[in-house]
């Protein structure tokens, strides 16, 4: 698992723009969506009062979005991916695990919005966006994005269905338990979509940059080896050329000496068969041959 699909920038930007627009609607004076939030919360309150067993079940479901679980799962997954040298998914996972909690905490500090009163769980502080829903939806979306290139159509359908179920159930539990308004959960889904897709793009960009550097390094090494082989071939050619010249000289000398093989010079007067034989290798050159012939003439005259 070393590669991730790189989503288009349009998608996270659209989610971010929708999040800002939603924040403006829920925090503006008069809160245009306050009436819708109140009506839906009242229905869930009536349902919870009439079905306490379901409230207990929803408390278990909502714990899936706890910050501790989210951070632990993110750290474990990031380390596992690093061990497998899947750097792009590891970077994306680490960024998501850090960015999501930081961003919703900062939003709670900067965008104060009261939660529903008298909920089935006691939660203090601001409520926009939902932290639990942000964790669950971010984990679900990240899993789908990381698995998408490695799954066929049936597997992708199962992954998407499981992700929607996790994000939907945790988000629904926050509304049903009156821990958040419905628009708080909607804001968390938009936040997770924007952050996860941006983090995946960052991991993919890092992977592409690393791949380019590795390819450049590989080409440089290959070019260096090719140049080294060329240099060795050139040196071998020079040595071969020098050896050929030396061999040619030796062959020339052998030929010269060979020409003198059987060369005889008269050593006596008429009727004298004395002769001097020039042996191969005994003459060092033309001057040596002339000297031998001169000696033979002198001996003939002396006789």
Please list, in sequence order, all residues whose beta carbon lies within 8 angstroms of the beta carbon of residue 135, skipping any fewer than 6 positions away: 65, 66, 67, 69, 70, 100, 101, 170
Range from 19-28, 78-87, 151-160, 281-290 carrying the lowest mean pLDDT: 281-290
> CA–CA distance from 52 to each of 9, 117, 182 (Å)?
44, 18, 21
Residue 104 has pLDDT above 60, yes or no: yes
Rounded CA-CA distance 183/189 in Å is 10
Residue 268 has pLDDT above 50, yes or no: no
Class of domain 10-219: mainly alpha
Residue 239 has pLDDT above 80, yes or no: no
Average pLDDT over residues 74-84: 95
Residue 284 has pLDDT above 60, yes or no: no
Rounded CA-CA distance 260/267 in Å is 17
Average pLDDT over residues 51-65: 95
The number of helix segments (H) and strand segments (E) in the chain equals 9, 2
Residue 254's pLDDT is 41
Residue 255's pLDDT is 42
Beta bridge partners, 265, equal 276
Residue 225's pLDDT is 79
Could you say which DSSP state residue 30 is in?
T
Nearest Cα neighbor of 31 from 154, 156, 163, 181 is 181
Residue 289's pLDDT is 53
Mutual angle of helices 153-176 and 131-147, in 10-degree steps? 180
| In contact, 75 and 97? CB cutoff 8 Å | yes
Residue 205's pLDDT is 84
Rounded CA-CA distance 104/127 in Å is 9
Residue 242's pLDDT is 63
Residue 300's pLDDT is 56
| In contact, 55 and 165? CB cutoff 8 Å | no
Q: Positive or negative CA dihedral for 193, 199, 205, 210?
A: negative
Residue 133's pLDDT is 97
Residue 231's pLDDT is 78
> CA–CA distance from 20 to each of 104, 130, 255 (Å)?
13, 15, 99
Residue 89's pLDDT is 93
Tens of pLDDT, residue by residue over 177-232, are 999 999 999 999 999 999 999 999 998 887 777 667 666 777 778 777 777 777 77
Q: How confident is the model at residue 276 (pLDDT cuts 50, 70, 90)?
A: very low
Residue 296's pLDDT is 61
Rounded CA-CA distance 303/299 in Å is 6
- CB-based burial, 220-247: b 16+ in 10 Å, e otherwise: eeeeeeeeeeeeeeeeeeeeeeeeeeee
Residue 253 has pLDDT above 50, yes or no: no
Residue 250's pLDDT is 46
What's the chain's average pLDDT?
82
Residue 263 has pLDDT above 60, yes or no: no
Residue 218's pLDDT is 74
Residue 125's pLDDT is 86
Tens of pLDDT, residue by residue over 12-23, are 999 999 999 999
- CB-based burial, 172-202: b 16+ in 10 Å, e otherwise: bbbbbbbbbbbbbbbbbbbbbbbbbbbbbbb
Residue 302's pLDDT is 55
What phi and psi values does residue 220 have, to the nearest 5 degrees? Answer: -65, -40
Helix then strand then coil, % of the chain, to nearest 5: 75, 0, 20
Going from N- to C-terminal start, the domains of the chain cover 10-219, 260-302
Residue 293's pLDDT is 57
Residue 152's pLDDT is 92
Residue 252's pLDDT is 43
Torsion of CA 29, 33, 39, 40, to 10 degrees: -130
């Amino acid at each position: 698992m070393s590669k991730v699909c790189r989503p288009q920038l349009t998608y996270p930007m659209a989610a971010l723009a929708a999040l800002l627009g939603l924040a403006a609607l829920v925090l503006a004076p008069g809160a245009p969506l306050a009436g819708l939030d109140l009506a839906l919360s009242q229905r869930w309150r009536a349902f919870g009062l009439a079905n306490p067993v379901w409230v207990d079940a929803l408390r278990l479901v909502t714990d899936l979005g706890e910050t501790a679980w989210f951070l632990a799962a993110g750290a474990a997954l990031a380390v596992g991916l690093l061990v497998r040298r899947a750097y792009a998914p590891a970077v994306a996972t680490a960024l998501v695990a850090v960015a999501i909690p930081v961003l919703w905490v900062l939003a709670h500090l900067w965008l104060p919005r009261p939660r529903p009163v008298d909920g089935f769980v006691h939660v203090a502080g601001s409520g926009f966006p939902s932290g639990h829903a942000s964790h669950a939806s971010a984990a679900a979306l990240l899993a789908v994005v990381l698995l998408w290139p490695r799954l066929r159509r049936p597997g992708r359908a199962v992954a998407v269905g499981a992700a929607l179920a996790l994000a939907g159930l945790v988000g629904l539990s926050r509304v049903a338990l009156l821990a958040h308004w419905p628009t708080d959960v909607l804001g968390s889904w938009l936040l997770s979509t924007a952050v996860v897709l941006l983090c995946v793009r960052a991991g993919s960009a890092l992977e592409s940059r690393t791949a380019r550097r590795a390819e450049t390094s590989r080409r440089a090494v290959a070019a260096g080896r090719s140049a080294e082989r060329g240099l060795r071939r050139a040196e071998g050619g020079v040595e071969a050329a020098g050896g050929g010249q030396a061999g040619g000289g030796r062959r020339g000398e052998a030929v010269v000496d060979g020409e003198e093989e059987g060369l005889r010079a008269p050593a006596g007067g008429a009727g004298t068969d004395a002769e001097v034989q020039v042996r191969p290798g005994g003459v060092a050159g033309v001057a040596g041959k002339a000297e031998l012939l001169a000696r033979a003439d002198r001996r003939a005259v002396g006789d």
